[in-house]
């Protein structure tokens, strides 16, 4: 199992648009092969901070996900909406 945290920091003037763009990723992603968890969170104190908490059966499943059209679209949207590039942490679960 692969555990992922993806942190996106929206430009402050784009918070709602960023939220909508990220919410739109959820339905098509959750039906993808190997997607075990794909949940979106928003920082209470700094609402420009968004976090996907994800679990994928394999790295290959995740790689395929990143090539899907809704992710390719999001990659373009990021350039306009985010204040800095999305940070993706690929993790092992220790306990």
28, 70 contact by CB (below 8 A): yes
Whose Cβ is closer to a copy of itself: residue 49's or residue 68's?
A: 49
Q: What is the nearest approach in angstroms of a copy of itself to the Cβ of residue 49?
A: 6
* Residues of this chain, 74-93, that bind a copy of itself according to CB under 8 A: 89-93
Q: How far apart are CA 88 and CA 90, in angstroms?
A: 6
Q: How far apart are CA 38 and CA 26, in angstroms?
A: 7
For residue 6, state whether it binds a copy of itself (rule: CB under 8 A): no
Of the residues 14, 42, 68, 77, which one makes contact with a copy of itself according to CB under 8 A: 42
**Cβ atoms within 10 Å of 51's Cβ, excluding its own:** 16
Of the residues 12, 41, 72, 73, which one makes contact with a copy of itself according to CB under 8 A: 41
Nearest by Cα to 88 from 5, 20, 16? 5
Residues of this chain that bind a copy of itself (CB under 8 A): 3, 5, 19, 22-23, 26, 39-45, 49, 51, 53, 89-95
């Amino acid at each position: 199992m692969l555990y992922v945290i993806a942190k996106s920091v929206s430009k402050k003037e784009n918070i709602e648009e960023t939220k909508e763009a990220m919410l739109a990723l959820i339905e098509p992603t959750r039906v993808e092969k190997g997607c075990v968890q794909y949940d979106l969170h928003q920082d209470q104190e700094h609402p420009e901070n968004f976090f996907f908490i994800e679990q994928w059966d394999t790295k290959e499943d995740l790689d395929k996900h990143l090539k899907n059209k809704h992710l390719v679209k999001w990659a373009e949207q990021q350039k306009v909406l985010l204040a800095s590039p999305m940070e993706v942490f690929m993790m092992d679960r220790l306990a």
